[in-house]
Amino acid sequence: MTGNNVSPFWGAVMSVVLLGCSADQANEEVKVVPKQREPLVRQAVGAGRWFPGDKDGLSGMVTGYIEAAGDPGIKGRVVSALSPHAGFVYSGGVAGHTFRALRDSAAGGKGPETVVIAGFSHSHGFSGVALMDGDFVRTPLGDAAIDQDANRLLVSSSDSIREDYGPHYGEHSAENQIPFVQAALPEAKIVVAIMGDHDLNTVDIFVAALKRLSEDRKIVLVASTDLLHDPDYDKVSRTDRATLEMITGMRDRDLAGSWSGTNQVCCGIMPVISAMRFAEVMGSSEGQLLCYRNSGDDFPESRGDWVVGYGSVAFTVE
């Protein structure tokens, strides 16, 4: 399913001036000039809800989080990373650590040409991976260019990967990463993916397609995830620490086994396992925990009501 935007089309603009021309000239083939289609721009529908809806407010917030993160001490090139996706006032400080690492890595000549953002659907499941189509995604910071060539390569890799805007509309998990990409890696194009099922075969298909894409251009995979949601602050803190140990230790099978519908240790488990397995095939042996906090740390009044964990992790190669 695609959005309701006008589809590309070809028109013909023809003009023939017969007055004063010869019969031969009049019978010449009329040239058809293709009419250029309007760019397809997808709107960030979460602006004003999950993050500020004005340019100055959003720019100041995102840049502030990235600067406040400080030097992450990353060595090598970041090939995949984890970043949270809650409202920026809650998780933006943790996300700032992820994108500070990406920004600093890029400054050393190791930056990606394309950032692949992998989120998941909070509202409904579907089979495979849905890529956002279009030319640009518009946030208050401007238009982020969608890497259409990368989309085509990924789609050609498997029938399980397709362009389909439907799962993206109103879904914040991937969209909330885009302003951070714009601030930290302004020259990079993006691929925006929603993973719709909990089948590890989908992970393997997606990772194989990303590996193929990485042979064509420099990419980084950003997995969008929050951690445990629970009223119990101590339970969230304890569970999240164990989860992050499995993630940084590249124990993807243990992590998959720890997750269930009633124990969602990662609110975005499939993107996380994809990031771990992609890092492994790219040559990474461990992840680096950059930051962990939960909403109970910054908003103590939430303890006993609803506490959500947030983690920032980077996987690197030499």
Q: Tell me: pLDDT of 23 over 60.
A: no
Q: What is the largest CA-CA distance in the chain?
A: 90
Q: Which residues pair with 53 in a beta bridge?
A: none
- Distance, in Å, from the CA atom of 94 to the CA atom of 226, rounded to the nearest integer, reads 10
DSSP symbol at 117: E
Tokens, residue 25: 């000239």
* Percent of the chain surpassing pLDDT 90: 86
Residue that the structure tokens 């995830």 belong to: 225
Q: For position 3, what pLDDT does the model report?
A: 42
Q: Tell me: pLDDT of 15 over 50.
A: no
Across 33-47, 210-224, 250-264, least confident range = 33-47
Q: Tell me: pLDDT of 2 over 90.
A: no
Question: Residue 292 in contact with residue 245, Cβ under 8 Å?
Answer: no
Mean pLDDT score, 272-288: 98
Phi, psi of 155 (to 5 degrees): -65, -40
- Distance, in Å, from the CA atom of 24 to the CA atom of 38, rounded to the nearest integer, reads 37
Helical axes 55-68 vs 88-105, angle rounded to 10°: 60
Residue 24's pLDDT band, with cuts at 50, 70 and 90, is: low
Average pLDDT, the chain: 91
Residue 27's pLDDT band, with cuts at 50, 70 and 90, is: low
More confident residue, 147 or 20: 147
Q: Tell me: pLDDT of 62 over 60.
A: yes
More confident residue, 23 or 317: 317
Question: Residue 311 in contact with residue 84, Cβ under 8 Å?
Answer: yes
Q: Tell me: pLDDT of 100 over 80.
A: yes
196-255 pLDDT, tens digit each: 999 999 999 999 999 999 999 999 999 999 999 999 999 999 999 999 999 999 999 999
Q: For position 33, what pLDDT does the model report?
A: 66
Helical axes 200-214 vs 269-282, angle rounded to 10°: 40
285-308 pLDDT, tens digit each: 999 999 999 999 999 999 999 999
Q: Tell me: pLDDT of 11 over 80.
A: no
Tokens, residue 290: 């950059």
